[in-house]
Chains A and B, each alone.
Chain A
Amino acid sequence: MNTLLKCVQNFRFNVFKQTKHLSIYPALRVKEIQEKETNNELVISGKILESGREPYLLKNEHPEACPVCASGLQIKHTDVLILSQFMRSTGGMLPRRITGLCRRSQKYISSLVIMANKAGLMPHLKPANSHKDPKMRRGWKKYNKYFYESTIKIK
């Protein structure tokens, strides 16, 4: 039993080491897209892309504050054009190390993202295997709903 455990641990350690060698993408700290071509060989290549946001970026008048606090906006869950800037293509909220928000704003915006998703306001930002149309949901979830921002409890 002991030898078996050791074997398993060794195996896990080896796998971990291997993956650590392979996972060069986050370590390089560049924005990349992986392209795979399979004509008898696999080619994985990285490419630096532009986000396309530079010309429309708001100037932060108070650089000591985070972008949301500095803008002074009262964001609601129906402001999907603002909320979609903080979201993945699968509908989730981006982590704080990418958004660069303060702890309070990050929690507030992620609550608004959840509200907007529940209200079905961003139906195409969803995982590929999910029902994109809110009317396809089960039970009470398919009917229209709205939320009060005052119900978000943050310190």
Chain B
Amino acid sequence: MSQLKRVQQWATFARVWHIYDAAWQNPFQSAELLKKYLMGMHKPIYHPMNDCGDHVIVINTADVALPGDEWKKRVYFHHTGYPGGASWTLAWELHKKNPTMVMKKAVYNSMDRSLQRRYTMERLHLYPDANVPLNLLENVSNQIKQLRPKPKRLDEYKEEEVREFPKLIDLPKSYIVE
């Protein structure tokens, strides 16, 4: 094997490390995106029997966002196996107990049920905040783009930005300042 072909072989089958910021992202839409990187479906050499998945580090999973009132509508079911062992947990209760569990379950449930799924999940590294161990962070070579922009709060704008933003209406002279 020539020198070039050997390097090409390494580059093809090397595991790439990606990082994804989950702040203000929907975990279920993000899971559909992340599973492609975890299973290697974004690669031309992809095959279900071909172990070519990448690593993904997900940060800020405590700040994931759900639409509307889904935090109190989405329910997670668990059964211990004993009689009367069923339990139903709301999404916000699960998130309060473990801020990475909603994201983990979203990715796990987004993938097809197979023997490979548990090994694929081993390549997913979840962190509730931005504190990632340095020995993992130094592997990262790609950032996955967020699905929706993080909304900027009004108090994060500068005062002159708010004042000089184009105004649609003016307050009438009868308006009394509170």
Contacts and interface: CB of A to CB of B under 8 A. Distances in A.
Contacts of A148: 67-68
A67 B172 CA distance: 14
A78 B149 CA distance: 10
Contacts of A139: 72, 92
B176 A146 contact: no
Q: How large is the interface on B (under 10, 10 to 19, 20 to 34, 35 or more residues)?
A: 35 or more
- Looking at B70, B155, B161, B168, the one whose CB has the most chain A CB atoms below 10 A away is B168
A101 B92 CA distance: 38
Interface stretch (B12-20, B58-66, B79-87, B125-133): B58-66
Given A90-B178, A140-B92, A151-B68, A81 B173 contact: no
Nearest to A25: B176
Contact of B72 (A84, A140, A147): A140
Interface in B149-169: 149, 151-155, 157, 161-169
| Binding site secondary structure of chain B | loop
B151 A119 contact: yes
Contact of B167 (A58, A78, A119): A58
A58 B166 CA distance: 6
B176 A140 contact: no
Contacts of A68: 168
Contact of A85 (B95, B151, B169): B169
Contact of B65 (A32, A85, A146): A146
Given A31-B175, A53-B167, A144 B64 contact: yes
A103 B129 CA distance: 44
A71 B154 contact: no
A36 B90 CA distance: 51
A143 B169 contact: no
